[in-house]
Amino acid sequence: SSDRPWYSLVQTGKTESLDLISSGPTPPNPVALLNSQKMKQLFDEWRQTYDYVLIDTPAVVGVADTQSVGSYVDGIIFVAGMECSTHDDITRSLEILRSNQCTLAGVVANFVNNKHGNSYSYRQSAGNPPQSEHEKSNLGLVRQSW
């Protein structure tokens, strides 16, 4: 929530065509900041300045940041860590995005364990094995080969 103009915060990437503004310290109330008129004005200015504006947000479940940003963007690229997200986590996240009328532009599956050929399953992280039968049942979602 700096009073400096946004363009003074821009860092040029290694490629001339990539600019970056880091988030800086977390404000006391990030959702209020994201829902503010000032943020709406920033998004309008960025749309006029850049071909594409990408915003990296925290996970959908548990925080409202993504839902707030969702009202400003043309689409969301949903990134899921396959070895640390359960089927229920992913399903709930997509339901939240859908209920907030967010446009899903694509899905990126990170941490895909492809040891078994053309399929994968959702896994808990190695340090947190599934405890309940419910958690164990969520490990079985399998994508068949293309």
CA separation for the pair 68, 31 (Å, rounded)? 7
74 and 35 belong to one structural domain: no
Please give the residue range of the domain that contains residue 111.
57-146
44-57 confidence digits (pLDDT tens): 999 899 988 888 87
138 and 96 belong to one structural domain: yes
Of all helices (H) and strands (E), which one includes residue 99?
helix 87-99
94-127 confidence digits (pLDDT tens): 888 888 888 888 888 888 876 655 554 555 444 4
105-114 confidence digits (pLDDT tens): 888 888 887 6
98 and 75 belong to one structural domain: yes
47 and 80 belong to one structural domain: no
The per-residue pLDDT for 74 is 83
CA separation for the pair 52, 12 (Å, rounded)? 15
In the chain, the number of structural domains is 2
Query: pTM of the entire structure?
Result: 0.61
CA separation for the pair 93, 102 (Å, rounded)? 11
37 and 70 belong to one structural domain: no
Residue 121: Cβ-neighbour burial (10 angstroms; 0-12, 13-18, 19+): middle
